Chain A
Amino acid sequence: MKRIGYILLLLFVSQNFWAQERKFQVNGDARGYMFAKNMLIDPALDSINAPRANYGHTLLDLGFSIFPNANTEIISSFRIRNELGGFWGGGVSFNVRQLTLRGVAGNVVKYNLGDIDLKMTPYTLYNFQEEGSINEAEIFSLRRQVVHYDMFYMPNNTWRMQGAQIGFGLQFNKFLKAIEFSGFITRQRPTDGITIPERLFGGGTITWKQNDKLQFAFNSISLFDLTRTISDSIRYKNNVNTFSLKYRNAINENIDWGFDAEAGFSNVNYINYVNPLAPDLQNDWFYDASFNMHFKKPKIVMNLGYKDVGADFFSPGAQTKRVDFTKFPGVFQQYTNAALGRPINLTDIINFNADYSFQIQDRLMAYNVAYDNINPHGIATPNRRGVYLNAERSDSVKFKRSFIQIAQLFESRGMGTNLKKSFTSIGAGTDIRINDFLGWKRELIVNLGVRHDITSRGGDVFEKINLSSTLIDFGLSVNLVGKLDILFGAKYFQAKGNEFITQRNAFNTVNNFQAIDLDVSETTFAAGLRYKFSEKNQLLVNYQNHQLKNKTTGGINYGISQFNILYTLTF
């Protein structure tokens, strides 16, 4: 035991935490965002809804980090937001955006309390990317980042939650390298005291690091209702337990190879529900195993894997979507003389017009089959099995980053028929530094991305499916002079064919199918100027035109043009 030493595993501690001399630090983000939008639709189709919308806001996120002692940090962020047009405080809101206490207890246990960002594995807790981009242009991604920032969708796929988190580790000199423990508990939903019980979400990981090459982990996560928070005894409980393995080894000094795998079970209980549709128990399992190669020169990573996710595998933390497609967009919510709800399109998602998730959902959320029918609920999408291949090269100077993503998946259980759907997805993208080819000093970068998805199912006429969709992203970024860039972006999306939209009840049980035919295209062009005052301070002025053509019977064609100004500052 004497040889066993403790080690602190400070996984999330920032550089500031260790700046012991500092007692106080101020940082923040400021933003100004203005829109002028026009709905472009045939007046014969829509003469009742206002075709123009002008709005915007300025805001300041003022963050304070306080270091009361060497092992404690208090992080707070306050948001002051002013809607344009709300003079003299009329449109001003003041919110606490973050309040976190973190530190190390007894020099052993690291803890976080309050607002925390959490992620585990892609099958337990993982905030996967929303639909509609594949290496998209900077003129789009700059605006998408605003959504991600506001909704706490971090690049490392974490979910922002409120609760407590702890972590500690043990290091060994013999037999194994280390064991790490981490756990969290968060509050997902308060009770109303009458019919809705309090809901918590908790989990943890035990990681066994055998050596530098091999590690195992046991992951467990649970979304559950707390008993006795209402007089009724109904209770929802979802448990997901997985076992993961990671192995790395070197073939030679230039090539490493590895093996990653995760397998586990989920079970869902609807306890004491009187609704006869509530199943007593739903359980299923999954596995995902991949073989990977890491070439150091050139720097290429290849990952070839196979997964099988059961049709009843429900993991809310990994399957909750960012965008709720059942809701209508915030701007031009209704269109046509019949005042129909306008479905969310790809630019609504970029422009912060969609309804975004900030809580883990116990139901598989509705999705748009045109935008993503392959993995609509992320990597952990239930009822998918098959092979996938991802490859990425990231060391080339002229081709800044290139990647290819291929998947051939199948259903493991039919939907409304014994026949299974097959899903094929091929995607690729690259950033090309044209200036390097031409020998220019000023940057001229082209972004390219293409993804083509096919869903098919054979059988009789009534059950056949043939749906294909294509997404093309193109971007151009040119440094004109000094700190001034011209940005251009184009996004083309097209979907054609037929599908059956799966409808589920409140208990995730499939209860109906809606047959749809699709012949839709979306074309978006955007052009603008960006002035970089510094790397953390920029101004973007751009114009965008979006056209949606729906050739399906009864489909509505329309467009939205917009001019917007986005100013961002981080300090």
Chain B
Amino acid sequence: MKNLIIYSFLVSLIFGCRKDDKINFDGPSLADSFGPFAIIQDLSINQYEVDFSAGQQVVFSMELSKNTNWIIQIEGENSGAVRTIIGNERILSLDNAVWTGGANKFPSFNLEKAYITITFPNEADSPTLLDSVLITGLKQDQGFLITSFEEGLGAAWQQFNQTTVAGTITCDPALAAKGSCFYSWNGTVGWDWAIGSVTIRPPAGGSFGLPANANNLFFNIAFKALQNVGPQNSFLLFWFDEDDNGDGVFTLNSEDRFIFEYWSNTLDWDLISRKYADLKFDADGNVQQTNGNGLTEPSKLISINVFFLANPNNGNAQAYADHLIFTLNEPYQP
């Protein structure tokens, strides 16, 4: 019995030193993830007039009561350009809620007012926050801009249009993919797929001055089909003509013409992007038969022909093209 008392005492001692961690807990706070939703600190925007061309940016700051999905949607008043920023952190800040002037896709923003809408899709009865900023300078493109059709037709360009087609540069900021102007085709050609084309060349002749490496260079152009749309109905056909022998003239019989076609599939502005090195492959992945050295050499590119074709049985065909630009390492970011 004496032993029993001794051991019972020992047990009591052990129980007396048990841990009880009242301050700390493991893992992220449940309140942060599953607690009631509230806006702890109201939305603030670092500047209401922003010149993206000068490297300025719009920073959204806000503190929420919990981690929850939030969506910042920015929409251009005239261009209709849209930029969406998505997150689910409790605090919106420079780390996760910054707009540098880009759009999700074409069209791009113009010098215009941009309306901001912030929503919390997983929080029932949560408020929708509204605000706006004024864009006073546009985001600077990174890359080699060939044309955005803002300066009119180039001196060395060549146009082709069927007799029933109006194919030319049109200017309307509300319709352009970027800036104010774009190239448009509109007409009915009941006897042929060919609608019209524009051959773009450097103003002073020679090459476009692109880098030599085709493996990290991307060709980009905005394309919008409005009538006769669909992957069986209309497409843009591109000819990339390289001056393999350096004589300043493209000779089809002895130099490389890489052909690339892109079929329309939407009524919206579409970004066509293709790595220059991949231009040597056709749609089936086979190497194209060309008449030059067969190498994709962007530094020798001297003309790009943009050719719109549409199914003659479908009536009128209409399409726009805009902002032809080469970028390094990645496709163009509108």
B24 at interface, CB cutoff 8 A: yes
Cβ-neighbour of A249 out of B3, B30, B34, B35 (below 8 A) = B3
Most A C-beta atoms less than 10 A away, residue of B7, B24, B31? B7
| Closest Cβ–Cβ distance, residue B10 to chain A (whole Å) | 8
- Residue interface mask A440-483, B partner, CB < 8 A = 1: 00000000000000000000101100000000000000000000
Which residues of A sit under 8 angstroms from B22, Cβ to Cβ? 418
In the complex, identify which listed stretch (A28-36, A84-92, A271-279, A408-416) lies at the interface while the others stay far away: A408-416
- Residue interface mask B17-57, A partner, CB < 8 A = 1: 01111111111111101111000000000000000000000
- Chain A residues 365-390 with CB under 8 Å of chain B are 383, 385
- Residue interface mask A380-424, B partner, CB < 8 A = 1: 000101000000000000000000000000001111111000000
Contact A412 B20 (CB under 8 A): yes
Residue ID in chain A nearest B3 by CB atoms = A249
| Closest Cβ–Cβ distance, residue A137 to chain B (whole Å) | 39
Which residues of A sit under 8 angstroms from B15, Cβ to Cβ? 306
Contact A310 B11 (CB under 8 A): no
Residue ID in chain A nearest B25 by CB atoms = A414
Q: A462-B35, A513-B33 are in contact. Are A417 and B25 (CB under 8 A)?
A: yes
A352 at interface, CB cutoff 8 A: no
Contact A418 B23 (CB under 8 A): yes
- Residue interface mask A499-538, B partner, CB < 8 A = 1: 0101000000111110100000000000000000000000
- At the interface, is chain A mostly helix, strand, loop or mixed? strand
Contact B18 A463 (CB under 8 A): no
Cβ-neighbour of A306 out of B3, B4, B11, B26 (below 8 A) = B11
Contact A416 B11 (CB under 8 A): no
| Closest Cβ–Cβ distance, residue A74 to chain B (whole Å) | 47
Distance, CA A308 to CA B19, complexed state (A): 8
Distance, CA A263 to CA B19, complexed state (A): 14
Residue ID in chain A nearest B35 by CB atoms = A462
Distance, CA A287 to CA B19, complexed state (A): 11
Contact A515 B11 (CB under 8 A): no
- Chain A residues 244-265 with CB under 8 Å of chain B are 247, 249, 257, 259, 261, 263
Cβ-neighbour of B27 out of A306, A418, A463, A513 (below 8 A) = A513
Which residues of B sit under 8 angstroms from A416, Cβ to Cβ? 25-30, 33
With an 8 Å Cβ cutoff, the count of chain B residues facing the other chain is 24
- At the interface, is chain B mostly helix, strand, loop or mixed? mixed
| Closest Cβ–Cβ distance, residue B31 to chain A (whole Å) | 7
Residue ID in chain B nearest A412 by CB atoms = B19
A178 at interface, CB cutoff 8 A: no
Q: A415-B25, A416-B25, A416-B28 are in contact. Are A385 and B18 (CB under 8 A)?
A: yes
A104 at interface, CB cutoff 8 A: no
- Chain A residues 298-353 with CB under 8 Å of chain B are 306, 308, 310-311
Contact A462 B11 (CB under 8 A): no
B14 at interface, CB cutoff 8 A: yes
Which residues of A sit under 8 angstroms from B4, Cβ to Cβ? 257
Distance, CA A509 to CA B27, complexed state (A): 7
Cβ-neighbour of B34 out of A412, A413, A515 (below 8 A) = A515
Distance, CA A463 to CA B156, complexed state (A): 71
Contact B3 A414 (CB under 8 A): no
Which residues of A sit under 8 angstroms from B24, Cβ to Cβ? 413-414
A291 at interface, CB cutoff 8 A: yes
Residue ID in chain A nearest B22 by CB atoms = A418
Q: A257-B4, A460-B35, A462-B34 are in contact. Are A513 and B28 (CB under 8 A)?
A: yes
Residue ID in chain A nearest B18 by CB atoms = A308
Which residues of A sit under 8 angstroms from B18, Cβ to Cβ? 308, 385, 412
Contact A311 B27 (CB under 8 A): no
Contact A462 B26 (CB under 8 A): no
Which residues of B sit under 8 angstroms from A511, Cβ to Cβ? 27-28
| Closest Cβ–Cβ distance, residue A216 to chain B (whole Å) | 14
Residue ID in chain A nearest B66 by CB atoms = A462
Residue ID in chain B nearest A413 by CB atoms = B21
Residue ID in chain A nearest B4 by CB atoms = A257
Contact A418 B25 (CB under 8 A): yes
Which residues of B sit under 8 angstroms from A412, Cβ to Cβ? 18-21
Contact A289 B28 (CB under 8 A): no
Residue ID in chain A nearest B36 by CB atoms = A462
Residue ID in chain A nearest B23 by CB atoms = A418
Which residues of A sit under 8 angstroms from B28, Cβ to Cβ? 416, 510-513
Residue ID in chain B nearest A418 by CB atoms = B25
Contact A247 B7 (CB under 8 A): yes
Contact A259 B23 (CB under 8 A): no
| Closest Cβ–Cβ distance, residue B122 to chain A (whole Å) | 12
| Closest Cβ–Cβ distance, residue A164 to chain B (whole Å) | 36
Distance, CA A372 to CA B23, complexed state (A): 27
Cβ-neighbour of A417 out of B3, B19, B30 (below 8 A) = B30
Distance, CA A257 to CA B2, complexed state (A): 13
Cβ-neighbour of A512 out of B14, B19, B27, B31 (below 8 A) = B27
Distance, CA A108 to CA B32, complexed state (A): 62
Which residues of B sit under 8 angstroms from A311, Cβ to Cβ? 21, 26
Residue ID in chain B nearest A410 by CB atoms = B20
Which residues of A sit under 8 angstroms from B35, Cβ to Cβ? 460, 462-463
Which residues of A sit under 8 angstroms from B36, Cβ to Cβ? 460, 462
| Closest Cβ–Cβ distance, residue A323 to chain B (whole Å) | 24
Which residues of B sit under 8 angstroms from A261, Cβ to Cβ? 14
Residue ID in chain A nearest B27 by CB atoms = A510
Binding site for A on B (CB under 8 A): 3-4, 7, 11, 14-15, 18-31, 33-36
What are 7 A-B residue pairs whose CB atoms fall within 8 Å in the complex? A257-B4, A306-B11, A311-B21, A311-B26, A385-B18, A414-B26, A462-B34
Binding site for B on A (CB under 8 A): 247, 249, 257, 259, 261, 263, 287, 289, 291, 306, 308, 310-311, 383, 385, 412-418, 460, 462-463, 500, 502, 509-513, 515
Q: In the complex, given contacts A289-B11, A513-B33, what are 12 additional A-B residue pairs having Cβ atoms less than 8 angstroms apart?
A: A291-B7, A308-B18, A383-B26, A416-B25, A416-B27, A417-B30, A418-B23, A462-B34, A462-B35, A463-B30, A463-B34, A500-B30
Query: Nearest 9 CB-CB pairs, A to B?
Result: A510-B27, A414-B25, A416-B30, A462-B34, A510-B26, A413-B21, A462-B35, A416-B27, A463-B30
